[in-house]
Amino acid sequence: MKMRDIKFNKQLSVDERKELFHDSFDASTDAALTLATLVQKSGDYLARIVGNESADAGMAVMLAPLGNVNAVSWRKNLADRSSDCFSYWPLGTLLHNLAAYAHFGIVLDATEDEPETAVEQRLGQMVAEATTFLADSPIDLWSVGGDAYVLKRLVALAECRWALDRGDPVDPAALAVFGDVTEARIRNMMSGKNSYFTNRDGKIPARQALKWLADRESFFDSIWRKQRIPPELLAGDSLREPLFVPVARDGSFFHPELRHGGSFTVGPKGAEKKIADFREALVELQRMPIPFWRRPNERNAWGIVRGTHWERYELQALLALAGRHGDDDSDAGDTSGD
């Protein structure tokens, strides 16, 4: 029995996902194929303006990295090497790495010493660059055809995952792809008096979407943050180190993924402290007669919760549970009175 037959996609490790990504990277996921088509049509368009001779000579220079390209054969050379374009052009590489994030929830090119905030910023820039490029591209005007679908789908999935990771409402069409259902089914779940999803200006709240996706076999949850356990959590310690963390009445608990704006916020309303280091924040909570901390609710509003008891977790288990913590349906707003 194959690995995929016995595991939900969300159960696959980073290494398993990377292997699956590289094994499955083909014409259905390689958006750089769209770039090759756009480059070819750009050369044809330029030829109409400056003449074939000048345009062909210029295209041969620009496509030299593909190897053995000349003014006569550049179109054939480009067509023959289109499946390699993701590795030759900067935007092709960006789209290749973005596909790993969009489809599998991982980051391919993060270095071990790169801070999580830097990785997050880079992911945001990648999504924004791909989105802007698609918006500025004459894909529909030039009738690029089937190749355009791959780029459009990639951008839609990347935008949807980025919204889910940030707690923003998501587009129904992209959510349907993640859940392996039709868009019509998602829209049906948004309509009617007893709708499963709340319709917010045509989009679905991230927490509701994530809660539904949690039971979908096809969905790869985002684990790129878990690829990069903060160095301060590992310094001199094992992942099996026991930690005691506060737990609120609604079952939410204090964990390493509650850093917001570079800091954890702890303490009651009016006496809050921002602490960058997780361990220091946890120590501060342990000093309080009653622990208070901020965490996002289902609308991604960062409200205060009050701890009612403490529970013991090994660090490894705590990090794993933190990834599922976003599925709760806690009340909105400031809950310091709980």
* Per-residue confidence (pLDDT) for residue 10, from 0 to 100: 82
Beta-carbon neighbour count of residue 129 at 10 Å? Answer: 15
pLDDT score, position 327 = 36
Task: Determine how many CB atoms are found less than 10 A away from the CB of residue 263.
Answer: 15
The gap from C-alpha 55 to its chain's centroid, in whole angstroms, comes to 39
For the sheet with 273-275, list strands across it.
242-248, 302-314, 292-296, 264-266, 273-275
Tell me what percent of the chain is helix, strand and coil, each rounded to the nearest 5. 50, 10, 35
Note the pLDDT of residue 320: 60
| Angstrom distance (rounded) from CA 65 to CA 83 | 14
Q: For position 91, what pLDDT does the model report?
A: 94
Kindly give the parts of the chain with pLDDT less than 50: 1-6, 236-237, 324-338
Whole-model pTM over 0.75: no
Q: Does residue 293 sit in helix, strand or coil?
A: strand
